[in-house]
Chains A and B, each alone.
Chain A
Amino acid sequence: MTQNEILQQSPQVLIEKYPFLTSFFDGQHWMADLNPTRSLAELFALIDEGFAEDHAFDADAFIGQLIDFITEMQAFIGNDTFKVNKLTILPGTNKSGEPEGFEKLDFEPKTITSIVGPTGSGKSRLLADIEWVAQGDTPTRRKMLINEQLPDSAWRFSGNKKLVAQLSQNMNFVMDLTVKEFLELHAKSRMVSDADDLINRIISSANELAGEKFSPDTAITALSGGQSRALMIADTALLSQSPVVLIDEIENAGIDRKKALEILTGEDKIVLMATHDPLLALMADQRIVIKNGGIHSVIKTSAEERALLAELEKADIKHQKMRTALRSGAVLQGENLKY
């Protein structure tokens, strides 16, 4: 649509045509008291200099942004079916300029990759490279491919299209809303039209992960640590648009970690997980070892390690059972430790 065509339309007609414009018009306070059935050109004619100053309104900037918004949202909605089937990292160098220890590193949906290495070794740089879809233009000189092709620059610059969703230890909910209101808000920002079903699924998934259940009417700030983490994970799995999820250590408290990973991979996410917990590290299909700012090696989880994992899981279940027993007031005995 050209500028002139848009000027002849009223906000009401535009919203009927492009329902996503609601959020755009909501942010235009200068319109608040004007008649939405009149054309933009007519509305502009009503605006005098004083009114424009008060509302910091600039007609040219407004029309430019309106056109940007429509164009981008249409591309975004049309692109919703675009699927990341493979993410590839081509090697760069470590801090000393030596080549990284792999040929080509692929990540596919439903797979888990753990990332190990000391603090400051370059884990956040790796994540940033993925988020920025590095093209040999970051300090590591790594290159990324999406579906074996050079990625679209929209992954870098678009506010609505981010490659990586992040879940980390010190994240908290800060909004003063109930669980249901909060999820509705998130769904709205994602332009999900029929959100009720999705919201119910998120809440029931989160309740499966958390030890103690919460209701849709619970305030998000009143959730326990475990419940918050459970809700964040379920929400990221089902409602975040980002195909890659980076998890920075899942705390071993009040949450079923194995199930958490299952929910994420079940929603076709590519899961990257920074962890030094053997139970989590071995749940991954492969692990990346980071040293001196570069990827030192990539290790596929071996059959022996998988067998070890089974042992660790048994120990973990014991541990969880004792936790539950303690919570209900039981006295632990020697046999609690036997496998």
Chain B
Amino acid sequence: MNLVTISGPPSSGKTAVILKTAESLKQRGLKIGAVKFDCLYTDDDVAYEKAGIPVKKGLSGSLCPDHYFVSNIEAVTAWGVEEKFDLLVSESAGLCNRCSPYVKDIKAVCVIDNLSGINTPRKIGPMLRMADIVVITKGDIVSQAEREVFAAGVYAVNPGAVIMHVNGLTGQGAYELSTLLFDENQHIDTLKGKKLRFSMPSALCSYCLGETRIGESYQMGNVRKIDLKNN
């Protein structure tokens, strides 16, 4: 089985890109499965089912979605192997810009959209900087100049990546993306022993454990203070 992790800011068009790309892959007779990681709510699983793609969804609830992802991706991979998928796509929303959802040796795609602002590529950490493929969406509604400026911004923070434009509505570029996602020589049986490309954001403080009160005396553990003097 091939495994691809697809990540990106909320509403950047991940699901639309995956669904359009899956159409091309299915036409080649490949069996595709998907897993959707989100935080509080998603109905994307319905969209996958409608497209005939078996899907599992996981909601992280009060936990850091990244940590939830890494604690579950191995079991999900085992599910994919059991279902005999040719390709399992894991989709997860990067909810903070310090997200780091990629695994070494597993193809990593970041989906980011032209509308998210010109400085956004600089603001996003490992999720963008360590991706193998960066897919830029919503190019049909901004000017050519803005597309070029945005792509240059992405290039400056991840010069090694393949940078592609895909339109999640019309599917333009999705076929091309599909040719990069599946490699018949790749076989993933388990993720055991594999490593993340970069450590995930960390926190261990009283608020992680459910504290709701505000004030110095309630802050315990890994707490950091804003520097108001030299700021």
Asked whether any CB of chain A lies closer than 8 Å to the CB of B154, the reply is yes
Closest chain A residue, CB of each to CB of B118: A175
Given contacts A172-B141, A175-B118, A175-B146, contact A128 B163 (CB under 8 A): no
Asked whether any CB of chain B lies closer than 8 Å to the CB of A194, the reply is no
Given contacts A29-B122, A157-B162, A160-B152, contact A170 B141 (CB under 8 A): yes
Asked whether any CB of chain A lies closer than 8 Å to the CB of B207, the reply is no
User: By the criterion CB–CB under 8 Å, are A173 and B175 in contact?
Assistant: no
CB distance from A101 to the nearest CB of B (A): 23
Closest chain B residue, CB of each to CB of A173: B143
Contact with A along B122-159 (1 / 0, CB 8 A): 10011001100010000111111111110111111111
Number of A-B residue pairs, CB cutoff 8 Å, is 127
Partner-binding segment picked from A184-192, A209-217, A294-302, A319-327: A184-192
CB distance from A199 to the nearest CB of B (A): 12
User: By the criterion CB–CB under 8 Å, are B159 and A72 in contact?
Assistant: yes
Q: Which residue of A127, A137, A232 contacts B145 across the interface (Cβ within 8 Å)? A: A232
Asked whether any CB of chain A lies closer than 8 Å to the CB of B52, the reply is no
Given contacts A56-B126, A56-B129, A240-B148, contact A137 B179 (CB under 8 A): yes
A185: chain B residues at CB < 8 Å are 118, 149
Given contacts A24-B159, A27-B122, A174-B115, contact A235 B152 (CB under 8 A): no
Contact with A along B195-213 (1 / 0, CB 8 A): 0001100100000000000
Bound Cα distance A132, B199 (Å) = 35
CB distance from A18 to the nearest CB of B (A): 13
B176: chain A residues at CB < 8 Å are 128, 132, 138, 156
Given contacts A171-B142, A240-B148, contact A26 B122 (CB under 8 A): yes
Given contacts A26-B156, A128-B176, contact A186 B149 (CB under 8 A): yes
User: By the criterion CB–CB under 8 Å, are B144 and A128 in contact?
Assistant: no
Q: Which residue of A128, A131, A186 contacts B148 across the interface (Cβ within 8 Å)? A: A186
User: By the criterion CB–CB under 8 Å, are A232 and B159 in contact?
Assistant: no
Asked whether any CB of chain A lies closer than 8 Å to the CB of B221, the reply is no
Query: Which range contains the number of A residues in contact with the other chain?
Result: 35 or more
Bound Cα distance A72, B159 (Å) = 8
Within 8 A of A (CB), among B88-130: 98, 100, 114-115, 118, 121-122, 125-126, 129-130
CB distance from B206 to the nearest CB of A (A): 20
Contact with A along B163-174 (1 / 0, CB 8 A): 101000010110
Asked whether any CB of chain A lies closer than 8 Å to the CB of B61, the reply is no
Q: Which residue of B140, B159, B173, B198 contacts A128 across the interface (Cβ within 8 Å)? A: B173
26 contacts between A and B (CB under 8 A): A23-B156, A29-B122, A56-B98, A61-B129, A65-B129, A128-B176, A139-B175, A159-B154, A159-B163, A160-B151, A162-B151, A162-B165, A166-B140, A170-B141, A171-B144, A173-B142, A174-B115, A183-B145, A185-B149, A186-B145, A186-B149, A189-B152, A190-B148, A235-B144, A236-B144, A236-B145
Residues of A within 8 A of B (CB): 23-24, 26-27, 29, 53, 56, 58, 61, 64-65, 68-69, 72, 124, 127-128, 131-132, 137-139, 156-160, 162, 165-168, 170-175, 182-183, 185-186, 189-190, 228, 232, 235-236, 239-241
- Please list the 4 inter-chain residue pairs (A to B) with the smallest Cβ-Cβ separation, ordered nearest first: A159-B163, A189-B152, A56-B125, A159-B155
